[in-house]
Amino acid sequence: MTENQVSYTEDSIRSLDWREHIRLRPGMYIGKLGDGSAMDDGIYVLVKEIVDNSIDEHVMGNGKLIEIKISEHKVVVRDYGRGIPLGKVIDCVSKINTGGKYDSKAFQKSVGLNGVGTKAVNALSQHFKVQSFRDGKTKCAEFERGVLSIDHPEEATTEKNGTMITFVPDNTIFKNYHFIPEYLENQIRNYCYLNAGLTISFNDTKFQSKDGLLDLLRDKANEETIRYPIIHLKGEDIEVALTHDNQYGEEYYSFVNGQNTTQGGTHLAAFKEALVKTVRDFYKKDFEASDIRASIVAAVSVRVQEPVFESQTKTKLGSHAVSEGGPSMRNFVGDFLKKALDDYLHKNSASAEALLKRIMQSERERKDMAGIKKLANERAKKASLHNKKLRDCRIHLNDEKNDRRKETTLFITEGDSASGSITKSRDVETQAVFSLRGKPLNCFGLTKKVVYENEEFNLLQHALDIEEGLDNLRFSRIVIATDADVDGMHIRLLIMTFFLQFFPDLVKNGHLFILETPLFRVRNKQKTIYCYSEEEKQVAIRELGNKPEITRFKGLGEISPEEFGMFIGEDMRLDPIILSKDTTIKKLLEYFMGKNTMERQNFIIDNLRVEKDEVKEEVA
């Protein structure tokens, strides 16, 4: 046997227990890990897996209140359902393929059917505690990284029936993690939209919904710019809400058994197809599908028996029948929409007329831009053969079978020095770089025509492959990487304006981020500390003492490729661009990118941060 050969014997075969396998391959169970800066990072999946069980209890008619408390790192979820049977408390959170949902009579149309979710949370938590309250008795057990540490005896209790789960995600797996309240609130609102009569208390703030998906669209659509009142349709095991706005793109929210299927699936595909067919039949005109769906804001929710998802994280519904022996998802959604939407349009002539005008407007805009788009696409293809604007990576978001697709990142930089440093230090498998030339155009108030006429914008949308929507988006994260000075901040605003103006669904779906890079390097002969704020710098100075050398980074180009690799690797810090529930894009852009106003000037003055200009300073 040569030195490079590896022996393959009986000793090479190893069996992992459930806990070891989850900790060794967490991505199989919760998707990507992340630090909490993205809405689909693992820590939010952990919360969802626990809350899903409480939701399933509510759906079965047990418990109208769920209490969630989340501090910096600890999560507590208390429901008032039936409570786990006391003799099975430990098994239900520590034995794979153990749970009540295998009994279809106990849990009809549930989300979690494979008995894995809670066990994954247990295995990936440095501390996990389960407590069940049932008929005047309580049983509690505690675990450390999936290993039982304390088996408390049964006791009498006066607490109401239900289950309480407490966990702290393992910081050796979820490094530097933090919960972002807006992401959690979005999860909680979705639960409420889909479960009338349910109240969720999140850190003592109560959330509930009376009108389901109608409430969802009231929150998501801009009431001032929608073209007609929201259409709300309900049937057995299906609910739909839709309207058209004035924004670019298509915006969809889809759900299966209360689970937010962020990647859609067969139910969303069926909805899009049925919408186009129903509209064509109603107006008796063969409209282009893109003209019918342009500027739509819609939500669709279905409940099915034993849903088949394409991954453990349940973000995309697979292809299957609605129930055993029942219709296909395509026929189920199609038949419902064909009747319900057609009836609505016949009964509401004003809405039907407004919808027709919106479609015809989209048709005119598409035809007006046809020639420009053709020339722009030809320029983009020609440029991509020899331009250096995009340093691409090997894996992309639309590589659906690749485990690392959710790590894919495009850094948008300005200037050769910054893009050069990132290009030399990046992971060529998952990280790409797009280099801007100078400041991009302020596109506030302009039509989408400018995207094709402006070379920078045209090449950027082709690099992302978002011309026809997000279905072919090539990168999970689009990261704006500009200097932390006045010019860099201005470029950042201009890029954000581009995405908010023409591709708002990309921002709303949590794909846009700002790269945080250190402002200071504090070092002595023994140690180097990188600091992202004045406060961190002062802490580092106290830690190192003895007159450390302090460097103030003025631009990304000043950071060497060797150093940059540390800031875009595992410990990369990203600030997500989050649109709050009360934010309207139109007002946001008018405020920051419209004509100068005294209000904005006062805002800038009040929030101005003054940094020292010295590159190096000695601290006594």
Buried b / exposed e along 298-325 (16+ C-beta atoms within 10 A): bbbbbbbbebebbebbbbbbeebbbeee
**Mean pLDDT: which of 242-251, 346-355, 380-389 is highest?**
346-355
Neighbours of 562 (CB within 10 A): 10
Domain range summary for the chain, segments of one domain joined by +: 18-207, 213-365, 382-618
Which pLDDT tens digit goes with each residue over 334-372? 999 999 999 999 999 999 999 999 999 999 999 988 888
Q: pLDDT: is 571 or 168 the higher one?
A: 168
Judge whether residue 618 has pLDDT over 70: no
* DSSP 8-state code for residue 254: E
Domains 213-365 and 382-618 share a fold: no
Mean pLDDT across the stretch 250-275? 92
Taking CA atoms, 594 is separated from 181, 339, 499, 589, 591, in Å, by: 30, 45, 16, 7, 6
Counting Cα atoms < 13 Å in the Cβ hemisphere of 480 gives: 24
- CA pair distance 317, 136, nearest whole angstrom: 40
Residue-level pLDDT at 323: 66
Collapse the DSSP code of 291 into the 3-class scheme (helix H, G, I; strand E, B; otherwise coil) and give the result: helix
- Residue 302 pairs in a beta bridge with 238, 256
Residue 597: band (very low, low, confident or very high) from pLDDT cuts 50, 70, 90 = low
Is the distance from CB of 31 to CB of 102 less than 8 angstroms? no
Lowest mean pLDDT among 169-173, 376-380, 475-479, 518-522: 376-380
Which pLDDT tens digit goes with each residue over 570-579? 889 999 999 8
DSSP annotation string for 583-618: --HHHHHHHHHSS--HHHHHHHHHT-------SEEE
Q: pLDDT: is 468 or 139 the higher one?
A: 139
Residue-level pLDDT at 320: 61
Residue 115: band (very low, low, confident or very high) from pLDDT cuts 50, 70, 90 = low
Lowest mean pLDDT among 35-49, 213-227, 571-585, 599-613: 599-613
Taking CA atoms, 330 is separated from 288, 298, 353, 370, 471, in Å, by: 20, 17, 28, 32, 19
Judge whether residue 279 has pLDDT over 70: yes
Q: Is the domain 18-207 a CATH 3.30.565.10 member? A: yes
Q: Is the domain 382-618 a CATH 3.40.50.670 member? A: yes
Q: Which CATH number fits domain 213-365: 3.40.50.2020, 3.30.230.30, 3.40.50.410, 3.30.230.10?
A: 3.30.230.10
Mean pLDDT across the stretch 217-237? 93
Residue-level pLDDT at 322: 67
- Supply the pTM of this predicted model: 0.86
